């Protein structure tokens, strides 16, 4: 007897492999498996896929598809594409890594960093209330460390975007002008 896993609408092995990669990737950035599956499926597809094609290919519930697509649209990881002669929405995967990372940074990272930034200012105030002067001095020192971390992060982000982006420049090394920005 050969393989197991052969439901009606089975899927090429290479596609299952790619989807698995995206499931892991989703997991790595804190998104649910279903989101990875949907993106992976669209990534592999040769043509735009409709809602119900996704449901059939992936064998997951309508609810998951709907929510997953919502997240992916929001991130800019999928786009709706009009398909002539069909009332249904059809989706395609965004293939630009820059777009994908930008969406993630905008929706997941920046809000966290911003609220962290607010909290850090509050901590700064709270430290004033520390009665023990020696502990207060120590706390201020730690605060400086946190602020320096914040500064590093803020330097880093645009740099990352630049490297992921256009990228005519910076081929490897050699040439004298490995400038950034």
Under the rule (CB under 8 A), what is the footprint of its own copies? 12-15, 17-18, 20-21, 24-25, 28, 30, 43-44, 46, 95, 97, 112, 115-116, 119-120, 122-123, 126-127, 129-130, 135, 138-139, 142, 145-146, 148-149, 152, 155-156, 159-160, 163-164, 170, 173, 178-181
Q: Which does 2 bind (CB under 5 to 8 A by kind): DNA, its own copies, none?
A: none
Contact criterion met (CB below 8 Å) for 94 and 77: yes
**H-run or E-run covering 90:** strand 90-93
Are 108 and 30 within 8 A, CB to CB?
yes
Q: Does 88 bind DNA (CB under 7 A)?
A: yes
Write out the DSSP string of 2-41. --S---TT---HHHHHHHHHHHHHHHHTT--HHHHHHHHH
- CB nearer its own copies, residue 87 or residue 128: 128
DSSP 50-76: EHHHHHHHHT--HHHHHHHHHHHHHHT
Q: Which is nearer to DNA, 12 or 63 (CB)?
A: 63
What mask, x for binding DNA by CB under 7 A, covers residues 40 to 59?
----------xxx-------
69 binds, among DNA, its own copies, none (CB under 5 to 8 A by kind): DNA
């Amino acid at each position: 007897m050969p393989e197991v896993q052969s439901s009606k609408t089975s899927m090429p092995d290479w596609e299952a492999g790619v989807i698995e990669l995206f499931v892991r990737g989703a997991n790595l950035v804190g998104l649910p498996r279903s989101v990875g599956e949907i993106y992976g499926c669209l990534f592999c597809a040769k043509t735009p896929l409709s809602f119900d094609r996704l449901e059939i290919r992936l064998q997951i519930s309508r609810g998951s598809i709907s929510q997953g697509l919502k997240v992916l649209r929001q991130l800019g990881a999928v786009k709706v594409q009009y398909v002539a002669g069909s009332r249904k929405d059809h989706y395609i995967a965004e293939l630009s890594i820059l777009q994908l990372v930008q969406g993630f940074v905008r929706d997941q990272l920046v809000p966290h960093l911003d609220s962290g930034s607010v909290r850090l200012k509050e901590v700064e105030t709270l430290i004033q209330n520390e009665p023990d002067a020696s502990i207060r001095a120590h706390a201020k020192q730690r605060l400086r460390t946190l602020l320096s971390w914040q500064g590093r992060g803020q330097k880093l982000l645009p740099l990352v975007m630049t490297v992921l982006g256009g990228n005519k420049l910076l081929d490897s090394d050699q040439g004298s002008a490995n400038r950034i920005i």
